[in-house]
Amino acid sequence: MLTATYIRPVAHSHKWRLFVLALTVLCLVQIVSAQILVTLEYRGKKVTCGYSGLRGVAKSCGAQGYERVFTGTVRSLADVGDTDKLLGIEPDEVFVGDSSRVTAITNQACLRDEIHSGDKWLFYLSRDSKSQKLEMSYGSPSKPIVGAKEEISMLRDLGRLSEAGILTGTVELLVQNRDGKKFSPLANHRIVAKNEKVGSAYEAMTNTDGYFWFELPPGWYNITAAPEFHFEEVDTGLSMMRGSVPVKQGECWEHDFTVEQTKRSTHTSSKLATHSSTRSSTAEVHGAKP
């Protein structure tokens, strides 16, 4: 959670500089703490890889920020140094960029899946700021095509959206007992997305993996589990402020969060007027895992 500390009055411009600096440092500390560092062994050597552990924070899940996004086949593969591989890739279905054959480097030691010549993948490629070469970062959504059905469907949908954006994510349930904490997907539960400016609310159902999907007008939204069972979002210290989950035209944003059941009853006398999301009745189509 962000906290405020009293600082003696200073000149107006200096005061705001101090505030921005303090806020920036605080955010950087929080972001670093959300990194999961894993030490792996690759070809007899130990390699440290950093993976994002963020939940409760909206992040981009579309093609924005990438120079080329496509499905394709690895036609050639060569070792570069101790951990990297140089890939020669032939694109198939293109979402961003052109259809020309491309070479890209990737860190195989930290990549979650072993990549081989002949493999078909969904590729997200960006350009390294120092070398100016294309790379497939191990932190990107790149993955074997057999496990990328949801992402490919989302990328196709982004291509046809003209007045809406996609908001997706997963919800997990935290249960605390004598044996400790247990996390599981919040399956088959209503999720409500409320536009904080105009008050419109939309609903979607999670699937068995806790996955939900909305197509929404651009704006800022508050995302909650429906109140029937009195679930509240677990505050991780990085959780989004109410109404701060963005939806942008032609873009995809992902919001994963964790809830726990409270003993506090939340009876209300008025019903929230809701509208069915385009995907509310078809969550299984886009939420199902292969």
Helix/strand/coil for 216: strand
pLDDT at 237: 58
* One domain for residues 182 and 278: yes
The number of CA neighbours under 13 Å toward the Cβ of 30 is: 18
In a domain, 182, yes or no: yes
Look at 257 and 280; give whichever has higher pLDDT: 257
Instruction: Give the DSSP H or E segment for 12.
Output: helix 12-33
In a domain, 256, yes or no: yes
Q: Is the pLDDT of residue 285 over 60?
A: no
The percent of residues above 90 in pLDDT, for the chain, comes to 39
The alpha carbon of 197 is separated from its chain's Cα centroid by a whole number of angstroms, namely: 24
CATH number of the domain to which 86 belongs: 2.40.50.120
* One domain for residues 131 and 193: no
* One domain for residues 272 and 184: yes
Instruction: Give the DSSP H or E segment for 160.
Output: helix 149-160
* One domain for residues 197 and 268: yes
The number of CA neighbours under 13 Å toward the Cβ of 159 is: 13
Helices (H), 10-109: 12-33
Look at 275 and 162; give whichever has higher pLDDT: 162
In a domain, 25, yes or no: no
Question: Which of 118, 150, 182 is a domain's end point?
Answer: 150
Region 143-149 average pLDDT: 93
Look at 205 and 5; give whichever has higher pLDDT: 205
* One domain for residues 134 and 71: yes
Region 15-40 average pLDDT: 45
Question: Residue 77 phi/psi, 5° resolution?
Answer: -155, 130
* One domain for residues 195 and 263: yes
Q: Is the pLDDT of residue 10 over 50?
A: no
Q: Is the pLDDT of residue 216 over 70?
A: yes
pLDDT at 190: 94
Burial 129-143 (b: 16+ CB within 10 A, else e): eeeeebbbbbebbbb
Tens-place pLDDT, residues 170-184: 999 988 777 778 889
Nearest to 96 by CA among 71, 69, 134: 69
The Cα–Cα gap between 226 and 205 comes to 10
Q: Is the pLDDT of residue 131 over 50?
A: yes
pLDDT at 268: 37
The percent of residues above 70 in pLDDT, for the chain, comes to 72
Instruction: Give the DSSP H or E segment for 268.
Output: none
* One domain for residues 125 and 185: no
The Cα–Cα gap between 217 and 191 comes to 17
- State both tokens at 177: 């007992």
In a domain, 156, yes or no: no
In a domain, 45, yes or no: no
Banded model confidence at residue 267, pLDDT cuts 50, 70, 90: very low
Q: Is the pLDDT of residue 33 over 60?
A: no
* One domain for residues 206 and 283: yes
* One domain for residues 126 and 170: no
CATH number of the domain to which 218 belongs: 2.60.40.10
Tens-place pLDDT, residues 57-93: 567 788 888 999 999 999 999 999 888 999 999 999 9
pLDDT at 273: 38
Which DSSP letter does residue 184 get?
Answer: E
In a domain, 136, yes or no: yes
Look at 285 and 190; give whichever has higher pLDDT: 190
In sequence order, what are the beta bridge partners of 103? 88
Region 203-218 average pLDDT: 94
Question: Which of 108, 131, 150 is a domain's end point?
Answer: 150
The Cα–Cα gap between 132 and 130 comes to 6
Domain range for 259: 161-287
In a domain, 56, yes or no: no
pLDDT at 55: 52
Q: Is the pLDDT of residue 103 over 80?
A: yes
Q: Is the pLDDT of residue 35 over 70?
A: no
Instruction: Give the DSSP H or E segment for 283.
Output: helix 283-287
Name the most confidently modeled range: 50-54, 145-149, 239-243, 275-279.
145-149
For the entire predicted model, the pTM comes to 0.66
The Cα–Cα gap between 215 and 209 comes to 19
In a domain, 249, yes or no: yes
Domains of the chain: total: 2
* One domain for residues 240 and 283: yes
Question: Which of 150, 183, 213 is a domain's end point?
Answer: 150
* One domain for residues 167 and 134: no
* One domain for residues 209 and 280: yes
